[in-house]
């Protein structure tokens, strides 16, 4: 081998070594980037899982609230069915107006009226005797 061939071989070798180091550097940089991306993905996955759990809990709570509202509405409707209808109220109003309870007397008022009548009768009996 001649000096020139050795020099060319050595130059090719050094060039290959330089390229290999460049490739190793790129490989290391790429590996670091992949690790960062993986870490970010893991963090994002954990956040997403937490958010999904939170949303699921919210959905369960909303479903529970909706069920309670439906039950309250059913209860309210069943209570409304027990209310008097317009025709029933008119029927009662007719009889109340017919009886006119404001003109009815209480027991106490009746007893007072009887006492007054008795007093008048005594007074009248006393006058008729004289």
Residue-wise pLDDT tens digits, 11-39: 899 999 999 999 999 999 999 999 999 99
The verdict on pTM exceeding 0.85 is no
Split at pLDDT 50, 70, 90, the class of 75 is very high
Answer with the residue of higher pLDDT: 102 or 75: 75
Question: How many Å apart are CA 93 and CA 101, to the nearest integer?
Answer: 12
Phi-psi category of residue 2: left, alpha or beta, with phi > 0 → left and psi -120 to 50 → alpha: beta
What pLDDT score does 84 carry? 87
Residues 6+ apart with CB under 8 A from 113: 105
- Asked whether the predicted pLDDT for residue 130 surpasses 70, the reply is no
Cβ contact 113:105 at 8 Å:
yes
């Amino acid at each position: 081998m001649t000096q020139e061939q050795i020099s060319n071989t050595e130059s090719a070798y050094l060039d290959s070594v330089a390229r290999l180091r460049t490739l190793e550097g790129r490989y290391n940089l790429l590996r670091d980037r992949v690790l960062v991306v993986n870490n970010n993905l893991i963090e994002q996955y954990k956040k997403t899982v937490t958010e999904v759990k939170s949303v699921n809990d919210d959905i369960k709570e909303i479903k529970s609230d909706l069920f309670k509202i439906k039950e309250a509405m059913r209860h309210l409707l069943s209570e409304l069915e027990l209310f008097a209808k317009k025709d029933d109220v008119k029927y009662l109003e007719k009889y109340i107006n017919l009886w006119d309870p404001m003109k009815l007397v209480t027991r106490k008022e009746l007893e007072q009226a009887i006492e007054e009548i008795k007093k008048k009768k005594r007074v009248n009996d006393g006058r008729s005797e004289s």
